[in-house]
Structure 1
């Protein structure tokens, strides 16, 4: 036991020494983590898109249609630009990239409302940028909803019901209270950033080890100590994001702090074991950067937040579960942003524990020293 603990201590110290002696690894694990914490959220600092150019095609040209356009001008999401006389002209404006949305007010809009019918309007949005299209459509819908409430009062008064009032729908977001894009995306991507920076740094160090020594051969104690060193660094990185960065950027946070610590420990354990196993297959350190950076976005989509898991094939969902970020992102968002209890993230914790044990066992096998009976045995990929 004493020998094992001694090996652990030497492995812990050796891993930290190797890390700080490698400039690229330090940049990947430590410096890049801090840079990304400010650089990545900067693109979403406004949280929601606003004042998106929208062109109007008013085929009615009535007092009511002009009243609708006045209400539309008060909506933050859209910015009315010069109107067009026809749908074809408005579509040409959109195809040139000068408009993100189109509002078409049908002919006889006012007449239909005064007769007690529904006036018809049509919303169109540019689908190339989904977030902007959704903002435009939501803004147009809000303006029309406000106008429709006034139109209902006009119809009620016409029918002799002056006290009639339309039902108002009040929406209150529970977790993403600012309804911001950054609050929804960055809090999830941050968990992926921690994995990718830690994965890249560890694989660089492992690749260097193989280039210099030609093989992977560590005792169980030394390997455990080295993994514990990276686990400590990864845990600090994740807590830095979940604590300071979310507070500084004013993202949803602090829903369940004890649960956050538990999920963070399980997640980083799975990431470190995964990185050590994956790194054993890279004999050239530069190859790691090419592969890992290429897979960052697919790993985020596989997590099931921006693209629902129910819309993916079953085999792809099972493949996604082999990567720690799939369970880790969902667990961290639940406990930190949504205040979930630990029993509500048991499936994610179980998946992370299985991954940590599975990749840990595979790592021990990959890094096992050669047996005395065959000292020339080489276990490298």
Structure 2
């Protein structure tokens, strides 16, 4: 009976066009459509202008470094600050650099050279990206000048310590690399949840209240578990690689355990919810508007420490809260299951709670007109 229910569930998904589009097609479309918005994660080649009033070797060296930056495109060399301001206002460019007269002389005399940086507040992200790159070029020039000054004064040429900045997990330092690995697992959760509840609500509309034998319920759960695991393998094994998102090559065993817990908790929650809906449209109406709230409650983009304690505790009732943390930790950060004990226990408890509730709702509730539903 379990095997027949397993196969009957797949037939139901394939025969129901709306469910098939939601469970299968939308999962694939989202994997390409959603990341496309973040394809240009890091702003590059932002137009900047440089006003060189010093025209010295040091100022020309700084201009060359700015021109070589990935973030900046040296688009103009105005003759005066006024012309640079007019250029900034009319072209909507990112930033203006003004090198004042006496820049090199101050450095050679052992004093501090000054550089004025102006950003375009109308394009805050572009402007801040350009200014951060220019700031790095200025810092490099300043370091070289400080080294030359120290050598002239007989002091050590290099400091004993140097700062090396290296991002650990989000190596591209982009927004898409931060958001989509978590959103991918939210997509899996929502499509499974809405698809299973839609199929159950369709049966409820057609047959009224019905009771499922335990083996039939297990067969349905196994079918959706297989679909969910196929989604996890597709996203973790192909989509993240195809989109070039950071991956830490987590242990295959840990990924299998983590993925099984996440999918199991999602299927258990979907079955528990499926027993409550009477109309086919209700699951979509409820869950389409909650995806954003569920993502924020997961604590990936909005820290749990900044969330009210009662709300953070309530969020633990959602499979996505622990599931996203677990899967991102294993897949993107290379964490071990021991380091994710809290999330593992959270998902295991949800499987037991929601699974027990679904079993009780589908197999034990009785009514005068309630008949067992047998698989085809």
TM-score range, shorter chain: 0.7 to 0.9
Determine whether 1:71 maps to 2:69. no
Task: Measure the CA separation in 2 of the matches of 1:242 and 1:110.
Answer: 53
Per the TM alignment, residue 200 of structure 1 is displaced from its structure 2 partner at its CA by 2.1
Q: Does 1:172 align with 2:169?
A: no
**Measured at CA, do residues 150 and 234 of structure 1 come closer, stay the same or move farther in structure 2, by a change above 3 Å?**
same
User: Which residue, 252, 270, 276 being the options, matches 2:271?
Assistant: 276
Q: Deviations over 1:212-249 (max 9, x none)?
A: 22335323332222112111110111011111223333
**CA distance 1:224–1:171, shift in 2 (3 Å):** same
Report the Cα offset of residue 259 of structure 1: 0.1
Superposed displacement of residue 272, structure 1: 0.9
Q: Would you say the 8 A contact 1:203–1:288 is kept in 2?
A: yes
Cα 1:129–1:207 shift into 2, 3 Å: farther
Matched, 1:306 2:308: no
Q: CA deviation at 1:255?
A: 1.9
Using the alignment, how far apart are the partners of 2:91 and 2:302 within structure 1? 26
Cα drift, residue 26 of structure 1: 0.9
Matches within 5 A, 1:68-217: 68-82=62-76, 93=88, 98-101=92-95, 113-121=107-115, 132=126, 135-159=129-153, 164-165=157-158, 168-217=162-211
Aligned to 2:335: 340
1:3 corresponds to:
none
* Alignment correspondent of 1:16: 10
d(CA) in 2 for partners of 1:97, 1:214: 65
> How far apart are the structure 2 equivalents of 1:170 and 1:221?
59
Structure 1 unaligned regions, length at least 5 = 1-5
| Partners of 1:176 and 1:184 within 8 A in 2 | yes
Question: Helix, strand or coil: the match of 1:79?
Answer: strand
Q: Do the aligned partners of residues 288 and 53 (structure 1) sit closer, same or farther apart at CA in structure 2, a change above 3 Å counting?
A: farther
1:367 counterpart SS class: helix
Matched, 1:322 2:317: yes
Match of 1:331 among 322, 326, 331: 326
Residue number in structure 1 paired with 2:374: none
What is the rounded CA distance, in whole Å, between the counterparts of 1:228 and 1:234 in structure 2?
10
Name the CA distance, whole Å, in 2 between partners of 1:276 and 1:128: 49
Distance 1:153 1:346 in 2: 49
- Superposition pairs of residues 215-230 of structure 1, within 5 angstroms: 215-230=209-224
Residue of 349, 356, 362 corresponding to 2:351: 356
Distance in 2 between residues matched to 1:128 and 1:218, nearest whole Å? 61
* Alpha-carbon displacement from aligned partner over 1:187-216 (angstroms, at most 9, x marks no partner): 222111211221221122122122222335
Could you tell me the TM-score, scaled by structure 2's length?
0.82
CA contact (8 A) 1:41 1:182 kept: yes
- Once the two structures are superposed, residues 54-83 of structure 1 have per-residue CA deviations (whole angstroms, 9 ceiling, x without a partner) of 456x59656345543332221101234447
What is the CA–CA distance in structure 2 between the aligned matches of 1:128 and 1:207, rounded to whole Å? 50
For the Cα contact (< 8 Å) 1:324–1:352, is it kept in 2? yes
Give aligned pairs, total.
367
Indicate if the aligned counterparts of 1:207 and 1:279 stay in contact, CA closer than 8 A.
yes
Change (3 A) 1:339 1:113: same
CA-based RMSD: 3.4
Using the TM superposition, give the Cα deviation of residue 100 of structure 1 relative to its aligned residue in structure 2, in angstroms.
4.2
Query: Counterparts of 1:318 and 1:104 in 2: how far apart (Å)?
Result: 52
Closer, same or farther in 2 for the Cα pair 1:126/1:360, shift >3 Å?
A: farther
Distance 1:150 1:40, change over 3 A: same
Query: Matched residues in 1 for 2:220 and 2:83: separation?
Result: 65
Partner of 1:285: helix, strand, or coil? coil
Moved more, 209-218 or 12-21: 209-218
1:258 CA displacement: 0.6
Distance 1:299 1:361 in 2: 23
- In 1, the alpha carbon distance for the partners of 2:184 and 2:244 equals 14
Structure 1 SS opposite 2:211:
coil
Q: 1:142 to 1:278 in 2, by over 3 A?
A: farther
